[in-house]
Structure 1
Amino acid sequence: MSELDRAAQLHREGRLDEALAVYAQLRDRDPASPETAFRMALVHAQRNDLAAANESLRAAVTIGDDARFRLLEGDLLERSGDVKGAIAALRKALALNGQLAPAHARLAFLLHDAGEVDAALAHFEAAAKLNPGDVRARSNLAGACESAGSAALGAGRVTLAHALLRRATEADPHRASSWVRLAAAAQHLGLIDESIDAYEQAEALDPPDAAQVGSARLVALHYDPRRTSNEVCDAHRAWAKRHAPSVPAPAFRNRRDVTRRLRIGYLSPRFHESSLTSLLAPVLQAHDRAEVEVRCYAHQDLEDTDTRRYRELSDAWVDVRSLDDAALARRMRDDEVDIAVDLAGHTPGSRIAAFSQRLAPVSVAWLDYFDTTGLEAVDYLLTDEGHSPEADTQPFVEELVRLPRLRYCFEPPAFAPAVEPPPCTRGGTDIVLGSFNRMAKISAATLKAWSLALHQVPNARLVIKNSALGHDEDRATFAQRFRDHGIDPARVEWRGYSSHADMLAEYNGIDIVLDTFPYTGGITTLEALWMGRPVVTLRGQTLISRQGAALLSAASLDELIAHDAKSYAQIVAGLASDPARLAGLSKDLRERMKASPILDAAGMARTLEQTYRNLWNRWLDRSASTT
């Protein structure tokens, strides 16, 4: 064994002082050897003696440059805090040897941290290709693609995000978080099959947040018109069996009294600025405190002006972020909540799994979800005849309670601008159709109906507004879908994100609003009506696909409800041919809404209070019969 090999052996064994002594002897005998100086620098670096390491490395580089020397130089500069110098050294290393995978990998991380995302991805890709069997290299590439894809998604560049997140899952298919983010990006692009598949891939990896991933998949199923209601219900049941199996009901201490004030526990992750506020806050404000005590159980990090409003409207405000499901159940049982009301279902941040622990004698699902929870521990789901007619065959795990009015009410935004006459009555030669719904809602069936309407109304153009349409590459994706239906994309105007107030003002530039299906609009439809614009919808066979029709019926606009794509297009064409009717609607829709159940918060509160009382009395009767 040569002296150089013996020193290397000592180095590998961690006998650094001995290795350094041998290297020093070799250097003294042959001071012109760059290899000896380089290896001495490696030992000094391992001993964290950066000054000595730099001195030896300078000696090596002076004698003869090498990519390995520059790789070590990059490491030493990075450790000393000179990131720019480290990047320059690593680039020199790759100029000397472009096949040096560790240099690509380290440079990729530094560039990523410096915000040079595209360059970083190229080097992560190179590192993975140079070592196809290196799990760490592929994991690094996946992590970088996921990070960049998430950033692109946050910036509204959905097509770019989708491509990056696909690369992430290809590089490391065992990374659940990449699949979840890919599912979200695909959903933004209306690629529902891919979104559902990505959620399923993530679930199969059984990540720590598997329950949340499963809930996201359940929501995504509602965007797919091919899914039967039985299939969707079975998926909810399967989620509950896996993530929220029921436990035996405990002995509740609640005072059994038919007439006393009831304690209602509302549980939500969205007691802040969100669409929920316009539906829930007016009800809490209108609740009769002689009938109900309102307790809000909040699972959220965000606090804003809406949160302060909710606090003021609550008799008790309970922050439950730190409580797991069992602790949350104990807290609500200790508080002697009579009726626990879930306001989130399987939407993001939900605590629906906690209901399996029996939070209260009576559990109710209401408002911010549109299907069964899947949990046998949730006793009732509040709906109405418009959303769930008596002859409905959609299956639910819960018992349906059909309210004698619309299942929710609406508080229009205080900042909504005044309604202006439709543009077709203000000298416009075109009919302007519009949709401000999420892109995921624009199903293939919806696109077909819209295209039929555009064919029937040759002077119509369509405005599609969504935060996913802020960049050219995103618009190009959807433009092709219209081409496939024979519609010139020039007839479609794409608009991206704006403030809520500005978005409402944009309705004044629309003549007719087009709803989506099978996932129909809720708040979007209500706001369009408040801005004096008729909404054309198609009634489906499930709660969520009947939502648009239920809202229009409540506003006495049943003539705007279609039963198939052909009748949908005919309704649009009929409105487009009657500017006088559009002008009349713009004048009286607000008054029509004020006179309807839609804006009747007091009526909604009284209905809920009577319903809560009935459900409480049912429980009293059952508990009396079992004791």
Structure 2
Amino acid sequence: MKITQPTISSRSADLFKRGVDRLNAGQYTLAEALFREIVALDPNHAQAWHQLGVTLARQHQFAQGEAAMRRALALHESGELQRDLAWALLWQGRDGEAVAAYYAAIQQGVREARLFNNLGNLLKKHNQTVQAEAAYRAAIDADPAYALAHGNLAILQQDAGQCEAAEASLKRALELDPKANHLWLCYGGLLERQNRLDEADEAYCRGGRWESVQFLRRRVAHWQELERIDQAALQMIASGAAENLTPWGLLGIPSLTPGLHREAGRRFAESRWRGELAAAPLVERGAGLAQIDAALAAGEPGARLRIGYLSADFHEHATLRLLAGVLELHDATRFDIHLYSYGNHAPDAFWQMRLNALPATFHAIGGLTDAQAATQIARDGIHLLVDLKGYTTDTRMGITALRPAPVIVSWLGYPGSLGAPRLADYIIGDAVVTPPAAATHYSETLALMPHCYQPHDHRRERDVQPPTRAAAGLPERGFVFCSFNQTFKFNAPMASVWARLLGAMPASVLWLLDPGSERARANLHAFFDSQGVARARVIFAPRVAQEAHLARLPLADLALDTLPTGSHTTGSDALWAGVPMVSAVGALFAGRVGASLLHAVGLDELVAPDLEGYFQIALALASDPAWYAQIRKRLAQARSEAALFDTLRFTRDLERLYLAIVKREVEGGEGAVTVG
């Protein structure tokens, strides 16, 4: 009997069916091999090219997947092909082309809820909110049970201030998918912003978003069961169980390690700016630096290093209060300074006057998309871009992810590693907050200032007349311990030390910044009640303007730092006001700032290795008038002598560090970048 050989067409059909089966089973290597065999037999097999492209894209070979899909499109146009091409383009950060492909798919009859939802996400990302809402509603029309589209519509409504509509959309999403943790996170966030804290806590717990539970409870000093909740949150990081887990909110967890904090940053970046991180860089690392380095070294007339500062906080905010002096004192003959502001807050008259007088060019980029803003920075020819936000509120690190400058530096706003090497090449610290031995905990290369990483504004008011103790709500006599840190930095071990201090100094009081929440005040009073501290001895200071706060600070006798996240601007404010501070060295950047500040004013003896040492130092200062007077005298002298308050010296050191970073990029090197 004669055996008939299968035709190319029948063999391709068999291979195609097997390939689709392997693709659906997630066996991508086998599927790829089968589809490649088909196109080798039949180069005009459009479906095989299409599915080969999908298989490659699912293996994160997006450029190769795109090429295969375009080969398929050249053979046969289809809406499904355009839909899958859009997905491959999206993952390469080519948002505009992805939007065009999605619209092409729609025009060719594709009416899938997922397509409309993805299109809505892209449009929202590029500030096309009207079109994004239409896309989300089209997704819901296509599949009313598609919970994700209801959730994304809710986020859009919330951003527009439509809280009632947003809540209704989120409730509908949760009815459809009650096990969706990210939807509970969104719902909890909406409730928290409305100060419905008990409901927010319940929502976070129902969704298993333990990182948000612990932060919310720390905000209101609800410290019961935190150790168990903290461990659950840390396990989420270690296992990668939750996307969009904001690293900033983890800083209050005492058992958070530097390694886990870096990992949280990496995961956050990859979930938040996936496309931008995958896109081709706008500017290659190091491009053009050799030329400017040589020109500066040769003293060529007009040669200036072009520095860009990127932030949302160029208004009356903690960052500008610290940075204003540096910006004013930059050497305009050697440095061309540009400020890129994406904030929506208008500065008051005083700060606007200072901004207008700066030797810098101001760029308002708040109305631009991340891609547009990055393109402008690249066109401006910035040599070194300094991101001042990191993973703090209102961050737009999609701009830096697109790499608009040949070197990017993280500084000042976020106390830790971003975790994603593409977001920043260097992080500015000092030998205390970022010791060279801790370099492995950073995705960035350490760039170390010689004294302290934190600047100071040389134009702060000096010797303002303080109010009376009575006017500030303090007793006329007695030692005043203070901590004006945010409540989320407090915890039971820290507060227990404070209670011990109050017990050892019977006439003393503890002066805290009002947390702005009756629940937090009640919880703090209840804790100190349990430690035997009368309520009258824990006094809450109202929130006032910065000038009024600096004026009242000298009424305090001793500032108490916090762990695991310590005093930052709060600490420098106290020291500037002449109030000594006791600190302890933490494991994280955020817990070492107080030690750095004290080192920079020459008061290293006020830094303890642990909480017991912290207690002993604070008690000795409070009970030894002679030693306390000596410390106050040294701190008063430091205002005119110490490196911490010498803004001009700091600025020149920072400029030398910038030049050293450029030199390192041009010539290479190992270890931290330092300046003597």
Name the TM tier (shorter chain): 0.5 to 0.7
From 211, 226, 251, the equivalent of 1:222 is 251
Give the 5 Å matches for 1:210-609: 214=245, 217-244=246-273, 245-250=277-282, 254=288, 256-257=291-292, 258=294, 259=296, 260-305=303-348, 306-377=351-422, 378-392=424-438, 395-411=441-457, 414-415=460-461, 418=464, 429-469=477-517, 471=518, 473-583=519-629, 585-586=631-632, 589-609=635-655
**Counterpart in 2 of 1:619?**
665
1: CA distance, partners of 2:306 / 2:429:
21
Q: Is the 1:422–1:508 contact (alpha carbons within 8 Å) kept by the matching residues of 2?
A: no
Q: Is the 1:268–1:344 contact (alpha carbons within 8 Å) kept by the matching residues of 2?
A: yes
The residue matched to 1:331 in structure 2 has which SS?
helix
Give the 5 Å matches for 1:143-222: 150-151=193-194, 153=195, 161-166=196-201, 185-191=216-222, 214=245, 217-222=246-251
Q: CA deviation at 1:403?
A: 1.9
Larger radius of gyration: 1
2: CA distance, partners of 1:134 / 1:551:
51
Q: Is the 2:515–2:521 contact (alpha carbons within 8 Å) kept by the matching residues of 1?
A: no
The residue matched to 2:617 in structure 1 has which SS?
helix
Aligned CA distance change for structure 1 residues 384 and 198 (closer, same or farther; 3 Å): closer
Q: CA deviation at 1:182?
A: 7.2
Q: Is the 1:406–1:550 contact (alpha carbons within 8 Å) kept by the matching residues of 2?
A: yes
Gaps of 5+ in 1: 1-116, 137-141, 154-160
Query: Residue 548 of structure 2 aligns to which amino acid in structure 1?
Result: D
Aligned CA distance change for structure 1 residues 224 and 335 (closer, same or farther; 3 Å): same
1: CA distance, partners of 2:466 / 2:543:
22
Aligned CA distance change for structure 1 residues 146 and 513 (closer, same or farther; 3 Å): closer
2: CA distance, partners of 1:218 / 1:313:
33
2: CA distance, partners of 1:164 / 1:485:
29
Q: Deviations over 1:495-517 (max 9, x none)?
A: 33233333333323322111111
The residue matched to 2:441 in structure 1 has which SS?
coil
Aligned CA distance change for structure 1 residues 421 and 186 (closer, same or farther; 3 Å): closer
**Counterpart in 2 of 1:9?**
none
Of stretches 581-590 and 549-558 in structure 1, the one that deviates more from structure 2 is 581-590
2: CA distance, partners of 1:464 / 1:394:
36
Of stretches 336-345 and 585-594 in structure 1, the one that deviates more from structure 2 is 585-594
Aligned CA distance change for structure 1 residues 379 and 189 (closer, same or farther; 3 Å): same
2: CA distance, partners of 1:134 / 1:613:
57
Query: Residue 637 of structure 2 aligns to which amino acid in structure 1?
Result: E
Q: Is the 2:309–2:340 contact (alpha carbons within 8 Å) kept by the matching residues of 1?
A: yes
The residue matched to 2:564 in structure 1 has which SS?
coil
Aligned residues: 473
1: CA distance, partners of 2:502 / 2:475:
20
Query: Residue 324 of structure 1 aligns to which amino acid in structure 2?
Result: T
**Counterpart in 1 of 2:77?**
none
Q: Is the 1:417–1:504 contact (alpha carbons within 8 Å) kept by the matching residues of 2?
A: no
Query: Residue 266 of structure 1 aligns to which amino acid in structure 2?
Result: Y
Q: CA deviation at 1:184?
A: 6.5
Q: Is the 2:282–2:375 contact (alpha carbons within 8 Å) kept by the matching residues of 1?
A: no
Q: Is the 1:187–1:195 contact (alpha carbons within 8 Å) kept by the matching residues of 2?
A: no
Q: Is the 2:466–2:551 contact (alpha carbons within 8 Å) kept by the matching residues of 1?
A: no
Q: Percent identity?
A: 26
The residue matched to 2:452 in structure 1 has which SS?
coil
Aligned CA distance change for structure 1 residues 261 and 511 (closer, same or farther; 3 Å): same
Q: Normalization by structure 1: what TM-score?
A: 0.66
Q: CA deviation at 1:148?
A: 7.4
Q: CA deviation at 1:593?
A: 2.4
Aligned CA distance change for structure 1 residues 572 and 143 (closer, same or farther; 3 Å): closer
Q: Deviations over 1:429-459 (max 9, x none)?
A: 5222111110001123311321232233233
1: CA distance, partners of 2:354 / 2:264:
36
Q: Deviations over 1:311-356 (max 9, x none)?
A: 4315321122233332222221111110011111101111223222
Q: CA deviation at 1:248?
A: 4.5
Aligned CA distance change for structure 1 residues 579 and 183 (closer, same or farther; 3 Å): same
Q: Normalization by structure 2: what TM-score?
A: 0.62
Q: CA deviation at 1:301?
A: 0.8
2: CA distance, partners of 1:586 / 1:318:
43
Q: Deviations over 1:567-586 (max 9, x none)?
A: 11111111111234445555
Query: Residue 265 of structure 2 aligns to which amino acid in structure 1?
Result: H
2: CA distance, partners of 1:329 / 1:375:
18
Q: Is the 1:269–1:344 contact (alpha carbons within 8 Å) kept by the matching residues of 2?
A: yes
Q: CA deviation at 1:546?
A: 1.1
The residue matched to 1:529 in structure 2 has which SS?
helix
Query: Residue 350 of structure 1 aligns to which amino acid in structure 2?
Result: T
Q: CA deviation at 1:186?
A: 3.3
Aligned CA distance change for structure 1 residues 576 and 497 (closer, same or farther; 3 Å): same
Aligned CA distance change for structure 1 residues 196 and 335 (closer, same or farther; 3 Å): farther
1: CA distance, partners of 2:586 / 2:278:
32
Aligned CA distance change for structure 1 residues 241 and 275 (closer, same or farther; 3 Å): same
Query: Residue 445 of structure 1 aligns to which amino acid in structure 2?
Result: P
Q: CA deviation at 1:185?
A: 4.4
Q: Is the 1:416–1:504 contact (alpha carbons within 8 Å) kept by the matching residues of 2?
A: no
Give the 5 Å matches for 1:49-88: none
Q: CA deviation at 1:276?
A: 0.9
Query: Residue 320 of structure 2 aligns to which amino acid in structure 1?
Result: T
Q: CA RMSD in A?
A: 4.1
